[in-house]
Amino acid sequence: MNFVDNAFILICAALVMFMTPGLALFYGGLVRSKNVLATIMQSFIMLGLVSVLWAICGYSLAFGTDIGGLIGGLDFVFLNGVGMDNAGSPAENLPHLTFMIFQCMFAVITPALISGAFAERMKFGGFMVFSALWLLLVYAPLCHWVWGGGWMGEMGALDFAGGAVVHMSSGAAALCCCILIGKRKGHGSTAFIPHNLPMTILGAGILWFGWFGFNAGSALAADGIAANAFVTTHMATAAAALSWLVAEWAHGGKATTLGAASGAVAGLVAITPAAGFVTPMWAIVIGFGAGFICYGGIMLKNKLGYDDALDVVGIHGLGGTFGALATGVFATIGAEGLIAGNAEQLWIQFVSVVATWGFSFVMTFIIFKAVDKTIGLKATDEEQDRGMDIAEHSETGYQW
Amino acid sequence: MKKIEIITRTFKLDEVKTALSGIGVKGMTVNEVKGFGRQGGHKEVYRGAEYQVDFVPKIKIDVVVEDDFASEVVAAATKAAQTGQVGDGKIFVSPVDEVVRIRTGETGEEAI
């Protein structure tokens, strides 16, 4: 066990925890004022729901003894055998509890990310059940596949901090959910104007800050890899904030603050799978690409007409996919990508992309249908008119 | 007595208020309002999605004055609020039947 690493990862876990309220603000500012609390709640309460589920059985399903490369066993349910020493810890330099709580924060934010797709029209009760099932049936297996000794990691797929596990999985789920739940009332005729962009910018800033814990902490040690991941994370994010603005200009518009914030998040997403494997200059290239690609993804949404309210598909789905493939191209540290002469890595990354999208989309479809049929997920037109804050929570965000 | 409603650009509030105070207007009520006229609205763009915003923010200043003072107030307000560009706003003048000062029960011009 290494005390320095332990201190570093505990701090990183706290940083990753802070991303979820940051996401709540990022999303909250983007909706209309009558839905601000319901939207914030769908991120914030994941700190409650997912944390408890993670301790009960989620962690064990992800990191318990491997069963056929598909899922973890039940050895760590109720945190049995997860203690203050490193016994059984996947990271031998860390107390098992440290590793568990660091991973818990990743699990918390992932279902919260999906909530942007069905914002302004999802009932709270159904949402909670959906999220609980999604965590156990989609996140935990995927996490096991990639990091818990499952087939995807064994195959050699590179995912430093969760491009597949967190971003592609939530992006694919978001696409499935926003198609199944249907559009918000008034989509296409009503102006869905963000009610508080300063809140959104603050949220993006908190995400950027917390993401240092997410990516640098994924080195699982206070070492040079962590330093590299820290720097690549920052550089890619900076580059993507710029390139999104360039895309807006080139598209005939003005540079927007929402564009700068969206670009930053796109850069954070895209560098996530690559952070520990690429050099800072390639990170800038990845960031530049992410800004353009995610902006294009959102233009595509406007053309195709599905109502991904807060652009989870465009930013997390596409950004995560681009990042996973870019990792296969630009990896030179501790792994070899295309530019290091290893074309096979790109193929492995491609397989991991297809498997992640396919698995998450199909499982999300089943879970969504099951919850929708039994509990019901979509708010009525009347409830949407009144606003989800009053309809679902009996409170309002602002008193004036 | 006349009620004078001045709807104009938000940044003109201070100038209009100063001008009216300067000629002896003793009170006014201000509202933030939205509307459109010849100026029309404007375009807003969020992540590439364009929205036409028809209702433009304006300020509405309500003043009630004696009949023979009304034209002077209108002239002062017009001078203070004018930029010469489309969107300067409008002034509406209408008769007022009665005014009551709640504290004392005074009525009519005494209560203004």
Mean pLDDT of A106-111: 98
How is residue A308 written in tokens? 């991904």
Please judge whether B51 and A191 are an interchain contact, meaning their C-beta atoms are less than 8 angstroms apart: yes
Per-residue pLDDT at B5 exceeds 80: yes
The superfamily (CATH) of domain A3-392 is Ammonium transporter AmtB like domains (1.10.3430.10)
Per-residue pLDDT at A269 exceeds 90: yes
Phi (first) and psi of residue A375, to 5 degrees: -105, -35
Closest residue on chain A to B50 (Cα) = A191
Q: Which residues of A touch B (CB under 8 A)?
A: 191-194, 248, 251, 253-254, 256, 258-259, 262, 295, 298-299, 302, 311
Alpha-carbon distances, residue A10 vs A4, A6, A85, A123, A198 (angstroms): 10, 6, 14, 35, 30
**CB-CB neighbours of B85 under 10 Å:** 8
Q: pLDDT tens digits, residue range B35-49? A: 999 888 889 999 988
Q: What is the per-residue pLDDT for B40? A: 84
This model of the complex carries an ipTM of 0.84
Please judge whether A298 and B47 are an interchain contact, meaning their C-beta atoms are less than 8 angstroms apart: yes
- The percentage of chain A sitting over the pLDDT mark of 90, rounded to a whole number, equals 97
Closest residue on chain B to A194 (Cα) = B46
- Binned at pLDDT 50, 70 and 90, residue A51 comes out as very high
**Least confident residue range of A23-37, A138-152, A316-330, B26-40:** B26-40
Please judge whether B51 and A254 are an interchain contact, meaning their C-beta atoms are less than 8 angstroms apart: no
Please judge whether A191 and B45 are an interchain contact, meaning their C-beta atoms are less than 8 angstroms apart: no
Interface test with A, best of B32, B44, B47, B55 (most A CBs within 10 A): B47
Asked if A326 and A158 touch (Cβ cutoff 8 Å), the reply is no
Bridge-based pairing of strands B29-35 and B49-53 is unpaired
Domain range list for chain B: 2-111
User: How far is the C-alpha of A129 from the C-alpha of A59, rounded, in Å?
Assistant: 18
Number of alpha carbons in the 13 Å side-chain half-sphere of residue B24? 6
Closest residue on chain B to A193 (Cα) = B46
- The percentage of chain A sitting over the pLDDT mark of 70, rounded to a whole number, equals 100
Q: What is the per-residue pLDDT for A234? A: 98
Q: In what helix (H) or strand (E) does residue A205 lie, and over which residues does it extend?
A: helix A197-216
Mean pLDDT of B59-73: 96
Q: pLDDT tens digits, residue range A331-345? A: 999 999 999 999 999
Q: What is the per-residue pLDDT for B75? A: 97
How is residue A320 written in tokens? 């995560």
Q: pLDDT tens digits, residue range A370-398? A: 999 999 999 999 999 999 999 999 999 99
**CB-CB neighbours of A287 under 10 Å:** 31
Asked if A29 and B46 touch (Cβ cutoff 8 Å), the reply is no
CB nearest to B46's CB, from A194, A251, A295: A194
Asked if A147 and A100 touch (Cβ cutoff 8 Å), the reply is no
User: How far is the C-alpha of A162 from the C-alpha of A322, rounded, in Å?
Assistant: 13
How is residue B96 written in tokens? 């007022």
Q: pLDDT tens digits, residue range A228-252? A: 999 999 999 999 999 999 999 999 8
Q: What's the mean pLDDT when you consider all of chain A?
A: 97
- The percentage of chain B sitting over the pLDDT mark of 90, rounded to a whole number, equals 87
User: How far is the C-alpha of A114 from the C-alpha of A173, rounded, in Å?
Assistant: 7
Q: What's the mean pLDDT when you consider all of chain B?
A: 95
Residue appearing with tokens 């895309």: A247
**Least confident residue range of A13-17, A32-36, A188-192, A289-293:** A188-192
Q: What is the per-residue pLDDT for A235? A: 98
Per-residue pLDDT at A189 exceeds 90: no
Mean pLDDT of A197-221: 98
CA-based nearest distance B55→chain A, Å: 12
Cα-to-chain-centroid distance, residue A1: 30
B53 neighbourhood in chain A, CB within 8 Å: 191, 193
- Binned at pLDDT 50, 70 and 90, residue A400 comes out as low
Bridge-based pairing of strands B29-35 and B2-8 is unpaired
Q: Torsion angle, CA of A66/A51/A19/A89, rounded to 10 degrees? A: -40
Q: What is the per-residue pLDDT for A172? A: 98
- The three-class DSSP label of residue B51 is strand
Q: How many CB pairs under 8 A join A and B?
A: 29
User: How far is the C-alpha of B106 from the C-alpha of B109, rounded, in Å?
Assistant: 9
CB nearest to B45's CB, from A256, A295, A311: A256
Q: What is the per-residue pLDDT for A252? A: 85
Asked if A167 and A272 touch (Cβ cutoff 8 Å), the reply is yes
CB nearest to A258's CB, from B46, B51, B53: B46
Mean pLDDT of A267-278: 98
- Binned at pLDDT 50, 70 and 90, residue A302 comes out as confident
A258 neighbourhood in chain B, CB within 8 Å: 46-47
Mean pLDDT of A104-116: 98
How is residue A47 written in tokens? 């700190």
Per-residue pLDDT at A48 exceeds 90: yes
Architecture of domain B2-111: 2-Layer Sandwich (3.30)
Per-residue pLDDT at A357 exceeds 80: yes
